[in-house]
Amino acid sequence: MDNLTFGIKYTPFRSREGGLCRLVASIRVRYPQPLLVASNGQALPLCCALQAARHVRSALGLSAGRNALARATTTEFLMVLDDDVLFTDQTDVQRLVSHVATRGVHVAAACYSGIPPTSWAFKFGNECAAGWFRTAETMPDRAILYTPTGVNAMHKYKGLERAHVVQNAFVARAHWLRQHRWDARLQTAEDTLWFYQRHKQKDSIAFDKEVQVEHSGNKSQSGDYNRRSTRYQEAHFLQWMCKAEPTIKFWLLPFWSLDCRTRMLKRRFPVGYAPKNVWAQQQMLPQALAWTKELCEPNPFAVRKKGVQVCGASH
C-alpha cells in the first residue's frame, strides 16, 4: 500500500495526548506508510516524532484540519481519522483501499468496536454511524438523518454497504478530497454538512462492517476537552450550515435539531436524562445561533487566519 497516507486530526488537549500516542503506535505496528497529524499550530507529543509522524499545521477546527491533511497528502489515497480510535487486528485498511480503487465508491469507512452497550452512540445511532438522509415530498425544506439505533441495529449488514453518512475513519482518494473540501467555517458539526453535500452530488459513500477500529472514548473521559473545546460549541458555527444550504430550513439529526428559521439549536437527550452538574444542565437548553456579525464577533473560538470568513453580515 505504498499509495496510502494516514491522516489524523488531533485536538491538542493534554488529556488527549495519550490517546493520540496510542493511536499512532497502533498504526505503526501494522503499517509503515506516511503518517500525518494535523493540529492548530501547537507542538505534537514526543511520541509522534519517535514514530515518524509529520506535523501538519492548520487553522482551528475539524474542517480546517481535514482540509490541511488532504492538501499535504502526496499519495493517491488518504485514510482520514479522528484522534480517539485505535487500530486492531480487525483494521484491514487494504480492504478499504480496494473498495475505493475497484468498487466505484468515493468513501469507504470502517465501523467502531469497543463501544459500551449503554453508550449514547447506541441510543442515537450505531457502531458504523451509518445514516441516510430523507426529505419528505410534503416538506422539502426539512432534512432528516435516519440512523438505525441499538447494539443489534447493524447485524443484518455484511461487507460493503452504501449509506449517506459513515464514521470519520475512512479511505478516499486525496485529490477527490481536495476537490470536496469541508467548510472551514464549521469547526464542529462539520461532518453532517459535508456528507449532505456528498449526498446531493450523488457521491458514493459506503462502510464495511468487517473492517473495524476501536473507539477509545477520549471525548467522554476528558472534562477539559468537553468544556473548553469547540466540540459542544455548535451554536457558534451552525449559522454556516444554514447559509450553505439555504433551501433547508430545518435539520433533524440524531443528537440535535437545527431550526434555521428561528436560528435555534436544540440538543436531543435520552428519555429520563437528568444530569446533576450545571454544565450538563446548560447543554439541555435551546441555544440561539451566533447569526449576526454582532453576535458572532465575540466568538472566542473564531478562526481569523488565511482569509476564512468568520462572521456574516449584520442581518
Alpha helices (H) along 10-61:
17-28, 46-50
Residues in Cβ contact with 246 at an 8 Å cutoff, skipping those fewer than 6 apart: none
What pLDDT, on a 0 to 100 scale, did the predictor assign at position 309?
47
What pLDDT, on a 0 to 100 scale, did the predictor assign at position 217?
61
Query: Which residues of the chain have a pLDDT value below 70?
Result: 41, 217-231, 293-315
What pLDDT, on a 0 to 100 scale, did the predictor assign at position 258?
95
Domain 4-132+146-221: homologous superfamily in CATH? Spore Coat Polysaccharide Biosynthesis Protein SpsA; Chain A (3.90.550.10)
Q: What angle do CA 57, 42, 232 make, to 5 degrees?
A: 95
The residue behind cell 473507539 is 215
Percentages helix, strand, coil for the chain (3-state, rounded to 5) are 30, 25, 45
Taking the C-alpha atoms of residue 94 and residue 106, their distance in angstroms, rounded to an integer, is: 15
Mapped onto helix, strand or coil, the DSSP state of residue 218 is helix
What pLDDT, on a 0 to 100 scale, did the predictor assign at position 62?
87
Q: How many CB atoms lie within 10 A of CB 158?
A: 10
pLDDT in tens, 55-110: 998 887 889 899 999 999 999 999 999 999 999 999 999 999 999 999 999 999 99
The Cβ-side half-sphere exposure at 168, using a 13 Å CA radius, reads: 21
Q: Smallest Cα–Cα separation from 70: which of 189, 206, 176?
A: 176
Taking the C-alpha atoms of residue 78 and residue 73, their distance in angstroms, rounded to an integer, is: 7
Record the cell numbers describing residue 269, joined without a space.
437527550
The angle that helices 62-72 and 190-200 make with each other, rounded to 10 degrees, is 60
* Residue 222 burial (10 A CB sphere; 0-12, 13-18, 19+): buried
**Cα radius of gyration (the chain):** 19
Largest interatomic CA distance in the chain:
57
How much is the pTM? 0.90
What pLDDT, on a 0 to 100 scale, did the predictor assign at position 29?
96
